[in-house]
Amino acid sequence: MSNDSQRVAIVTGGSGGIGSSAARRLAADGFAVVVHYARHAAPAEEVVEGIRAAGGVASAFGADIAEEPEAAALFQHAKDEYGHVDVVVHSAGIMPLAPIATMDLDTFDRIMRTNLRGTFVVDRLAAQHIRTGGAIINFSTTVTKLQMPTYGAYAASKGGVEALTLILARELRGRDITVNAVAPGPTATPLFFEGKSQELTENIARANPMERLGTPEDISEVVAFLAGPGRWVNGQVLYANGGMA
């Protein structure tokens, strides 16, 4: 149902830790939210149900964001359901870790396909469909500054995301659309905890002056700022890491 005054957001990876928090935060700000998922519908539907229970407007949609026809169907779903698209939060990504010397090329290619090609596809569609006054919010990582071993392929993919972000911001001159990237530090999500010992987790948490891990809510506050009042922030990478770098 079209309502021109209703702001509409697509959140890719909307069933994940940061994505689901961003979806809930934008819904609380009055956005109608399309919660995207890659493979598993149940977690996305759970996010949607939570938003609706709180009085918000949301729907879920599954797509491989690295395949343009599927990603295009995601945007079409938003337009069919709500009439238009104002904000795209592109949080979908993967993070397999291994030293550069031993990472197999199939894993490297999978990281680049999801993280870099996926961003290119989503940003390309966002640039075509977002209304005047909108925002594109990509996700990088603080690891691009930290040069941590085993993160080579992941950091390389996110370095590419930053380049796309900064250039797209300049390419959209005159359209009143902001394009920025959020670069979280270590954040307490299932993706972060996977494969880490408690000791390692505690050491990482102490690495910033706040001496704690970030929370998904910490990151979604930055997203909400960029999606709403932060209109004079454009073509930037915002580091949300407690002062880690």
Sign for the CA dihedral angle at 92, 98, 101, 105 comes to: negative
| Four-CA torsion 220, 208, 211, 222, nearest 10 degrees | -10
Which residue numbers are catalytic?
Answer: 154
Which residue in 123, 133, 116, 142 sits closest to 238, CA to CA? 142
Helix (H) or strand (E) holding 34, with range, is: strand 32-37
The most distant pair of C-alpha atoms in the chain lies apart, rounded to whole Å, by 53
Amino acid at 130: I
**135-164 b/e with 16+ CB inside 10 Å = b?**
bbbbbbbbbbbeeeeebbbbbbbbebbbeb
Estimate to the nearest angstrom the gap between the alpha carbon of 148 and the chain centroid: 21
